[in-house]
Structure 1
């Protein structure tokens, strides 16, 4: 004997609803009825004169019915229906016989006038038998239906909203009354993610911290035996592209516990209180599946610092969501078995209450990868590519300082695209060089029209950069220089910067001199400057102000820094220094730039012959590499090159 399975107590009971096919069938039946039956009973309109002369006088009228004191319906005798006058009257669908009536109608303005006219018309007729007239009232259900149609449409529209949800939430299985529920994506226990720690390179310290967390989830007894508690939260902080989200995906693949993933913006809604409601629902679902991990990407969306300084930008909805998150992380229920993993690019703007121990116990700072880490990242992204024998990961890593993991992935993909565009079977070294140039400088624009005089000015401008950097002790060594337009620039020079953790004043100063080399060469050769140094002046100005304002490297304002590590004064309306100090800062920055410019002019004057030779070589070849530059300018006094291209 078969038994009916018991319903799942965790699933809510829902009434089944008819499919769309039934709705189409009902609409089709209604249309058929309106066409065949309603259409078959449609009667023809006539006039009083036609009624009197063609129907009443020949005695074809059986009876009349006055409907609602406004309309007279005419019934024709059955024996008169064969006349040619009545050939167009409605007929039955099955046997093609005339319908019993009414057959014609006409409208009247007054019942009394109609009755008088009818009596007058029948007085001259032979015989004494008059046409029978009856009176009645009738409801016009079709007009009533048209009147109620807008109301019916509104009711159906709201029923659709109640069943299917509000716009923007379609396909999420939520109705209009439960949009306060969380829409976090869940990776259940036992589901294996495609990304693991093997796919994450260059973050050994961060992986070690995270792996300890995963070990705690898998073997909690080993830690609890010693009295250790599970961390409440782990915050990943770092620049864009350093692999925060990738690391979270790897955790989802390695943890072996339910993993909830969502973005901080998913808590923000136009309805007040929705963010806090979704936060409560998220933790309620997570606690039901504990132990588990919740990953909130871009947590600064809801976790920004609260304070009076931002009162004019206050968002009550965001703050209520933050308050709910704080309560869930460290409220009365302190043993929920839920670990919160969050990622942000702006750790400096987060609320201090969110960062304290007990909420986010561990802060993992992910920085841009160094040389060794970039080489490991290249090794990961080069695996799916068909490479030629001249590709060297160490050389690629040396030529991409300051690149994030996302930038390296983009370079590998661009190199493969370039090789495919050239109809090559493998990706070679030159493809990677072109990809690096494409990412750094932009798309090469050989079709841009440049006059010979402009080309000469651009050549001397770039030669000024290279010559100045070549004879400066702390400047970065040049890798390549080109006067082919790329992106928004008309020429560019590529350098291999030394990866320093500390930058001295001399190194700052030589970097400003290098940036001003193009403007100095134009003034020296053409005795007139141009707009070609816009980007260079921007870099030099920012460097000078950073030296004075942030690092305290000025000569007048010494050992003073106005840098705010909390980031709270970024959008404030006041400065942390006086107007007099601001004038000193401007004067100090201007003095630094003037001294750097004078030094650059002197270097170019001392090596004017090399400057002319380098510019002529650029005009002739358009692109010069490191060996070409060294052949013209000679060997550098201090070589800081780490890897040959």
Structure 2
């Protein structure tokens, strides 16, 4: 066992990685070593003035070389070097024949030369005297060291900012920083995603599928004089499957597919973005017919000239200008189709959106109930399910969920089942996953006093009662007073998916939202901070009715909403109109609040029964309301609700005292 562990450890040990910088270090060390060992300085011994005088008088000096006017290198004659006084230095490891044996730092050169001349005459000496100027390689390197460090730092940052040596087209090297970073998918790197993996989105799928047909058989369309579209823009909320559609196109098209993000064009260097756009379209043209997919195109496609702080000629605008030219300018007859995706189509430049560049704008909306069912069927294939799982009911319980949310929910249900050591995923695990995603994690250890719990129970019972009594309010599915996420209590409803909303429907929804605070007022004759999210919701609804939809008689059939977003800093109405708007919003909310109080006064006993049941069970369902209230008086409406959805009314925790909030 020990040997096998050793083998595993050796296999898991990090492998040796070669680094080019080691070559530079080795060359530097070799140069330093050559400088030291090639010179005789290591073998030379420094001597004093008296020792130099003794050697000089004995006429043992063969020659003296004055280096840089301050040091004398002393060479001993061959016949004198055998003397005992020199043998210790001669036998050292550093001495080589023909090198200087001594070094003498003499001080002033003129005095030194005068002393030598006098000694030569007095003792009849025979030696040569030479002057030399030498520069050490190490000294030269140290002189240039600051410049070398600056160049090394510059190269390091250039390498990091240009991709760190990674990316298509050699983007990691400073000289190829203008190359495109697009990832190429062709016959060698085929994408396995196809249109079969894309559930729902039938309309968007048809549009994109037609683009694939353009590339596979262009003569079918060009034979009638038609032109292949230049581009398609996928627009929709996050998680709806825009990138998944692009992957399916890559898998189905069987043509070269270039994929990159809008941020890949953005760089701090001037002209790099435009250069990358040119290189991208050049590569695509060489491999045409081909497809270019630009994800999050709003990174470079924002409207020009809107930002006065940076001026009109910044790098992002240059990149956008180059993209506009490549998509529809002179010499753009290449068979290249551009597909782009964004969830911010409102900020894109109008020149980018025009026909001839993005001929088709494909809106990828949130899935409806049938599409949610199809998406569920795709994501539950790899899961081990129990027999009680009802996919159709799950589709009803997940309104407003995107494809990414449904995938997350399926994964969360599997984790919940595994946490409870189950052999398969049951229907309740999926419902718990919905509660977990929409409401947040259940907080079982949150300390709530009995008084606070009673307030929360009556608050939620008030919502449930009003929604059961009003025709246009959504019927209840589930009410809980278990703390979850930011909420201390929550209620799930089942409203119809409406394409248009009438005034009565909005007023009934506002009344049901205010039912929680109305219940607190009736039962305790006090109100709490727990209705924060309720008040925020009804205020937004009332303001939208008055200022956006024109549903108020006093203000009239006027909207102050600008879909272009150009007047976001300008108030489109006068001060008198603003005062009138505030009055009408307040009147509308207070009227619905009084309506909720009147309804609850008539049904006070049933409200109390429901609240006590909620305190006892903590979670109640539709069946409990049927026992207390009987059938809704609007059964015909319930029968019409086929494509139903659940919404959660959360009661957020305000940043104040935590006494009676719900």
Q: TM over 0.5: same fold?
A: yes
In the TM superposition, residue 581 of structure 1 has moved relative to its aligned partner by 1.9
* Bigger shift: residues 377-386 or 320-329: 320-329
2:68 alignment counterpart: 68
C-alpha distance in 1 between matches for 2:618 and 2:472 = 27
Give 1:472 deviation, angstroms.
2.0
Please say which of residues 485-494 and 20-29 is displaced more in the overlay.
20-29
Partner Cα separation in structure 2 for residue 39 and residue 634 of structure 1: 111
CA distance in 2, matches of 1:82, 1:465: 115
- What does the per-residue CA deviation read over 1:67-97, in whole Å, with 9 as the maximum and x for residues that have no partner? 322123344677677758974678346xxx6
Matching residue of 1:200: 198
Q: Secondary structure at the match of 2:220?
A: helix
What is the match of residue 138 of structure 1?
133
Equivalence for 1:580: 576
Structure 1 alignment gaps of length 5 or more: 1-17
Question: Tell me, what secondary structure is at the counterpart of 2:563?
Answer: coil
Q: Is 1:346 matched with 2:344? A: yes
Pick aligned residue for 1:170 from 165, 172, 189: 165
Distance 1:511 1:631 in 2: 24
Deviation of 1:625 after TM superposition, in Å, equals 2.5
The offset of 1:34, in angstroms, is: 5.0
1:597 to 593, 609, 619: 593
- Tell me if the contact between 1:401 and 1:496 (Cα under 8 Å) persists in the aligned partners: no
Quote the Cα distance in structure 1 between the aligned partners of 2:360 and 2:431: 40
Counterpart residue number, 2:603: 607
Are 2:437 and 1:439 aligned?
Answer: yes
Match of 2:34 in 1: 33
2 CA distance for matches of 1:380 and 1:34? 72
Correspondence for 2:235 among 234, 237, 240? 237
Task: Identify which range, 365-374 or 229-238, moves more after superposition.
Answer: 229-238
- The 2-side partners of 1:186 and 1:368 are apart by 30
Match of 2:461 among 441, 463, 487: 463
Q: TM-score, normalised by structure 2?
A: 0.84
> CA 1:321/1:116 → structure 2, altered by over 3 Å: closer, same or farther?
closer
SS in structure 2 at match of 1:180? coil
CA displacement at 1:374 relative to structure 2: 0.5
User: Cα deviation per residue 1:161-196 (whole Å; 9 max; x = unaligned)?
Assistant: 89x685435312034344333222222257531111
Identify which of 396, 399, 422 aligns with 1:398. 396
- Indicate how the Cα distance of structure 1 residues 601 and 59 shifts in structure 2: closer, same or farther if over 3 A, else same: farther
Counterpart check, 1:188 vs 2:186: yes
| Structure 1 residue 359 corresponds to structure 2 residue 376 | no
Q: How many residues align?
A: 617
1:630 deviates by 3.3
Counterpart of 2:623 (choices 614, 620, 627) is: 627
Matched residue, 1:535:
533
In structure 2, the partner of 1:506 is 504
Deviations 1:217-265 (A, max 9, x none): 2122222222222122212221111111111111111112221222222
Which residue pairs with 2:316 in the alignment?
318
Alignment correspondent of 1:263? 261
Inter-partner Cα distance in structure 2 for 1:39 and 1:579: 95
Shift of 1:424: 2.0
Q: Deviations over 1:338-375 (max 9, x none)?
A: 22212221223333333332222222212111111100
Q: Name the CA distance, whole Å, in 2 between partners of 1:359 and 1:235.
A: 10
Equivalence map 1:64-103=2 (5 Å): 64-75=64-75, 87=88, 91-92=92-93, 100-103=98-101
Residue aligning to 2:418: 420
- CA displacement at 1:198 relative to structure 2: 0.5
Change (3 A) 1:526 1:82: farther
Post-superposition shift, 1:334?
A: 5.3
Structure 2: state its 5+ residue gaps. Answer: 1-18, 647-662
Change (3 A) 1:38 1:83: same
Note closer, same or farther for the CA distance 1:67–1:265 as it changes in structure 2 (3 Å cut).
closer
Q: Distance in 1 between matches of 2:411 and 2:176?
A: 43
SS at match of 1:341: strand
Contact 1:482–1:618 (CA under 8 A) maintained in structure 2: yes
Change (3 A) 1:473 1:128: same
Partner of 1:7: none
Secondary structure of the 1:556 match is coil
Distance in 2 (CA, whole Å) between partners of 1:43 and 1:509 is 104
* CA gap 1:71/1:545 in 2 versus in 1, 3 angstroms: same
- Contact conserved, 2:62 with 2:128, CA < 8 A, in 1? no
Q: What secondary structure, in the 3-state scheme, does the structure 2 residue paired with 1:231 have?
A: coil
Give the whole-Å Cα distance in 1 for the aligned partners of 2:309 and 2:551: 35
Give, in angstroms, the shift of residue 389 of structure 1.
Answer: 0.9
- Structure 1 residues 102 and 251, CA, compared in 2 at 3 Å: closer, same or farther? same
